[in-house]
Structure 1
Amino acid sequence: MKRALVLGGGGAKGVAHVGVIRALEEKGFVPDLIVGVSIGALVGAGYSILADSSSLWEITLRIHRKAARWLSLRKSRGNTYSPIFNTIACAYLNAFGAALPSGIYFRTLRKHLGGYRFSDTKIPFICTSTIMNSAKLCVHNEGSIYEALRASMAIPGLFKPEEKGDLKLSDGGILSNLPVSVAREANSTFVVAVDLSSSNRVTSFSTSNSILGLMDEYKADLILQREIAAADILISPVMTRNIDLLDYSSCIDVMNESYEETLKCDLNGVTL
């Protein structure tokens, strides 16, 4: 049996994957393949290199302590972005077609993963991005992990698409935020999928932007349901707080909550 772990996208909520992985490992589940998209790709890459959930947990804590003040782009209280971020983002968006300079944002990522290649992992690893030229999924399983992660995490509007030859690559979650089908295509016979997309969705019809956002979410849900149906086990951590896409201020709490919740999960009698 080839067992795969699929880690979905979810922005800052992605630290929940760290807690889920730790709990699954304690329950006896260690994957033969890890597939990730966006923030799930980042956590998946770390786990594939370390092959140890405790080390992943400790490193995540250390990175959070050092980088949280740079990574969190919203105020710790309230729902507004900081004035500094608003000013920089608007200027950069007007000049370069993206709200953030990806080189600065991914500096920590480059420091920790810049030298790794897919062939260096202890657990085979795959991540996905979206080919903007053709609206097709790009599967990354060779070469530089850092470059693949930049593509998989290039959220449209926030970061410019990454370039690979003639291809322009953006966040893999555009086409599939839970790429179970990719794990199946890699001949996985048993798939545990971790979906973060449904946590704390706020339905609002107050502005045109919120309505357009909901339309995008509804369309993404149609794809998501097909991916969920292809998984053997689905884990969807329920979070007790609203977490914005780029608000990393609650990382430690989210990790602990997802860990405790997964430990209590009824896995339908499946022996992991």
Structure 2
Amino acid sequence: MLAALLSCATAPKELPAVQKPARIAVVLGAGASKGFAHIGVLKILELNKIPIHMVVGTSVGSFVGSLYAYGYSPYELQTIAFALQKDDVADYILPDNGFIKGDKLENFVNKKVKYTPIDKFKVPFYAVTTNVQTGEEMAFGRGNTGKAVRASCSIPGIFQPPIISNNMYVDGGVVSPLAIDVARRYGADIVIAVDISSSLPSSAPSGTIETIMQAIDIMYSKIAAVQIKNADVVIRPKVGYIGSSDFSKRHEAIMEGEKAANE
């Protein structure tokens, strides 16, 4: 900004360039059931009339983000969240590279967006995944919405990794739980990052799933701490006390999102 002002001062005969409005992206981070907090954040951003020109989501961030980018209001998302049951999105199978198949999650999302492909959404949206074969981040910004969200949410060891165009994908949080770089790559000038991995529970996990999830949350937290340095605005809902597979605290998570966005 200073350089631009100095440039204008030294060249008074030149007409000032017409500045385009800044493109604002919201990046919704990974964090399983803690991700209900994203809805609370979106409620406050909308209440304050903050324009959102792009949404990037990883894991649960892609689930919430896809529905928002499609056109659901934050209040409609809250209604969907309160009605959501685990059985709506989890189809348990005998362990085979995961013990949740993922078809239910894919179908749930596709039904909610009326089978609209990502590239036809009202707001540009990117679902962040990890290509298991290359170890690279992959952001889906077009095509089958449910399949992209399924890939982004496929927590290793929990969900069967889906195959898309002969490539196997897992949770984007493995390499990019807070994909600020994706927002920048696709033209965001200002990035609002919602980090739900920064606070971790102090108690020991109980059971296999919770142990896996807490270990993954630790990984998310460490990677996100590096990624978040490139954000312009950081919102950190205090949801560390909510278990990764705990659907019973949806209301509390949404409230924490609202509180954090208001701070």
If the length of structure 1 is used for normalisation, what is the TM-score? 0.78
* Mapping for residues 111-260 of structure 1, pairs under 5 Å: 111-113=111-113, 115-202=115-202, 204=204, 220-239=220-239, 242-260=241-259
Aligned partner of residue 183 in structure 1, secondary structure: helix
Decide which structure has the larger Cα Rg and report it.
Answer: 2
Deviation at 1:152, TM superposition (A): 0.6
Deviation at 1:43, TM superposition (A): 0.9
1:148-188 C-alpha deviation (Å, 9 max, x unpaired): 11111111111111101220011101101000011111121
Percent sequence identity is 26
Q: Which moved more, 1:227-236 or 1:28-37?
A: 28-37
Aligned partner of residue 4 in structure 1, secondary structure: strand
Aligned amino acid, residue 98 of structure 2: A
Unaligned runs of 5+ in 2: 1-21
Unaligned runs of 5+ in 1: 74-87, 266-272
Aligned amino acid, residue 247 of structure 2: Y
CA RMSD of aligned residues (A): 2.9
* Mapping for residues 20-35 of structure 1, pairs under 5 Å: 20-35=41-56
- Work out the CA distance in 2 between the residues paired with 1:215 and 1:68: 24
Query: Number of aligned pairs?
Result: 242
Deviation at 1:27, TM superposition (A): 2.0
Over 3 Å counting, the alpha-carbon distance change for 1:159 and 1:7 in structure 2 is same
Over 3 Å counting, the alpha-carbon distance change for 1:206 and 1:123 in structure 2 is closer
Deviation at 1:204, TM superposition (A): 4.8
Over 3 Å counting, the alpha-carbon distance change for 1:252 and 1:203 in structure 2 is closer
1:92 corresponds in structure 2 to 94
1:14-51 C-alpha deviation (Å, 9 max, x unpaired): 1100100110122231211111111101111111111x
Which of 85, 108, 113 is residue 68 of structure 1 equivalent to?
85
- Work out the CA distance in 1 between the residues paired with 2:132 and 2:148: 15
Runs of 4+ in 1 over 3 A off after TM superposition: 104-107, 203-207, 209-222
1:50-108 C-alpha deviation (Å, 9 max, x unpaired): 1x6xx33224324532x3262598xxxxxxxxxxxxxx96x711xx2211122235443
- Work out the CA distance in 1 between the residues paired with 2:206 and 2:251: 32
Over 3 Å counting, the alpha-carbon distance change for 1:104 and 1:117 in structure 2 is closer
